[in-house]
Amino acid sequence: MNQALTLLSEEELMFQEAVRSFARNELAPHVLRMDRESKMDPALIKKAFEQGFMGIEIPEEYGGAESSFFTAILAIEELAAVDPSYAVFVDVQNTLVNNAILRWANKELKAKYLPKMTSQWVGSYALSEPGSGSDAFALATTAKDCGDHWKLNGTKMWITNGGEASAYLVFANAKPEAGYKGITAFLVERTFSGFSVGKKEDKLGIRASSTVELIMEDCIVPKENVVGEIGKGYKVAIETLNEGRIGIGAQMIGLARGAFELAMRYMIERKQFGQSIAHFQGMQFQYAQLATEIEAARLMVYNAARLKDAGKPFAKEAAMAKLYSSQVAEQSASKAVEFHGGVGFTKEFPIEKFYRDAKIGTIYEGTSNMQLMTIAKSLLSEFEK
């Protein structure tokens, strides 16, 4: 399943192979243990920084690799083929937090935070709330201007990387009377007064990835820690999430490929009625169809990432890639369990983990229905001109 690699440059191929080697040799031995314990191994967090995974697009002057968005997508895909939890840990750092700081923060904030984000600080993106999911701008968290600082009050829910993070991109409404036009983005450090990490969710899948509640009770944030302009946080959120959806697409195609490859190896080894079950036509038609769908999803994700790097519109393509790749991941993981037969339903084999991990793809960073809305709006805009 490597034909899409012809789309990669020699440098990208080398990077891809390096990440693949790390995932198979250094990450793989710890995946099932981390899933059981619902915790990311601190040693692997450290290795993510040492490998340069946590600052792929960040300029060299801040300690980053100064590479492309597409390169980050390659890393996420390769990591997800071994562990989707680790992949989303790297994904959120790059496609959401770092991207937002790079694009919207002023020079002083970049100089203060980006060197930490490349070397030691995990980042987290805090938008969702108990009453604000798909309706992302129905935020209840408020930000009060107190002269030389802001005071934030509210609760965030389902925050990825929240358990390990040192820096949080928090969205709060500085002018509730202005509706979504009051939403503002803030960089909040874990140690700020009034900030705390609450309950950790006990999840179906991606269990090693922390998903937590954040609590702000008169949380004091320095005046200079506004990311972008006051009241323009909705723009930061929308445009950052458009990029993040490509990252989730990469996670899903990696997951689909990982499940598929496990299933193919098992079907070739498994003998029934005197031959490998992979040689039965009924099986061949099924896995041939899956391989085709995974390849199509990969090309959609790659295309959206290339458009982003080229500075061209990509919102529709990102939504399509996220929508389709999450569907393909679910289907691939489900079929892979079936291809394994009875052992696929046990924790003795790793395939059931891919099945559990796949479900989240249709939910986070915009549900499938939200992707369909984005696609439909883009199509109407194109055809009604």
Chain segment 180-219, per-residue pLDDT in tens: 999 999 999 999 999 999 999 999 999 999 999 999 999 9
pLDDT at position 193 is 98
Q: What is the pLDDT of residues 244-296, one digit of tens each?
A: 999 999 999 999 999 999 999 999 999 999 999 999 999 999 999 999 999 99
C-alpha torsion angle, residues 270, 272, 275, 278 (rounded to 10)? -50
pLDDT at position 137 is 81
| Confidence tier at 134 by pLDDT (50, 70, 90) | confident
Q: Known catalytic residue: 365? A: yes
Q: What is the pLDDT of residues 15-36, one digit of tens each?
A: 999 999 999 999 999 999 999 9
| Confidence tier at 346 by pLDDT (50, 70, 90) | very high
What whole-number percentage of the chain has pLDDT above 70? Answer: 98
Q: How would DSSP label each residue in 324-344?
A: HHHHHHHHHHHHHHHHTGGGG
- Contact between 304 and 314 under an 8 Å Cβ cutoff? The reply is yes
Please state the rounded mean pLDDT for residues 161-178: 97
Q: Is-same-fold flag (3-122; 234-383)?
A: no
pLDDT at position 2 is 53
Helices and strands: H and E segment counts in the chain: 12, 10
Q: What is the pLDDT of residues 71-126, one digit of tens each?
A: 999 999 999 999 999 999 999 999 999 999 999 999 999 999 999 999 999 999 99
Q: Is the pTM of this model over 0.85?
A: yes
Superfamily of domain 124-231: Butyryl-CoA Dehydrogenase, subunit A, domain 2 (2.40.110.10)
Catalytic annotation, pick one of 17, 293, 365, 382: 365
Q: Where are the domains of the chain?
A: 3-122, 124-231, 234-383
Question: Does the 234-383 domain belong in CATH 3.30.1360.230?
Answer: no
Question: Does the 3-122 domain belong in CATH 1.10.3720.10?
Answer: no
pLDDT at position 385 is 80
